[in-house]
Structure 1
Amino acid sequence: MTEDADEDDSVRVWLVERTYSDDEQNLIILTYATTDGRQYFRKERALTSFDDVRETTAAVWAASENLGRVRDEAERERYAAEAQRMAEKHDPDDVI
């Protein structure tokens, strides 16, 4: 077992992208990826008010069945570089 996997078949993924929806749903989309950039996990958060504050951590555990495959090579390389950078600079529970 590696430090990026746990006994529950979960995988540690690192924050690689934070985007905001262009529509009126007030969504924040958080994309986390493995350090090799091959898999990603996406979380959507709906902001219900201006004082709706929820912490975003540098890494999260994601069940392996909830991970998607990154098929585009350029995106895989970008995700890998950012996930590795986050892993080197931050502890998993750091608030970003």
Structure 2
Amino acid sequence: MPPETDKVRVWLVERGYNNRDLIILQYATPDGDRVYRRELAPQVLDTATVTAAKDVSSGDLETVDDADVQKRYAAEAGRMAGKHDPDDVI
């Protein structure tokens, strides 16, 4: 089992769709520097729980290179953290 210190809390900052009809959820670190991306089939959304935050492995995070996107993600992560508990269903 990996150590708990490997976990990073990320907040839901964006939800969208792609051309394959998958739902794209993006969770970012509070500073907006890193992002966790999850793709779900619409049928899975009925059984999957989308929460305000997730604790994910640091190895599952990608770097956000665009400074404007980092700022937007940081602002949205802060808004989500201020309005919701991590386990709130969104």
TM-score normalized with structure 2 length: 0.89
- In structure 2, the partner of 1:63 is 57
- In structure 1, the partner of 2:22 is 27
TM-score normalized with structure 1 length: 0.84
Matched-pair identity in %: 54
- In structure 2, the partner of 1:15 is 12
Question: What's the C-alpha RMSD, in Å, of the aligned pairs?
Answer: 1.6
Following superposition, the deviation at residue 20 of structure 1 comes to: 1.1
Cα deviation code 1:29-85 (max 9, x no counterpart): 000000000110000001238xx5132100011100110011100000000000011
Which structure's CA Rg is the greater one? 1
How many residue pairs are counted as aligned between the two chains? 87
Deviating runs (4+, > 3 A) in structure 1? none
Q: Which runs of 5+ in 2 are unaligned?
A: none
CA distance in 1, matches of 2:84, 2:14: 15
Following superposition, the deviation at residue 8 of structure 1 comes to: 4.2
CA distance in 2, matches of 1:88, 1:70: 22
Q: Does 1:83 align with 2:80?
A: no
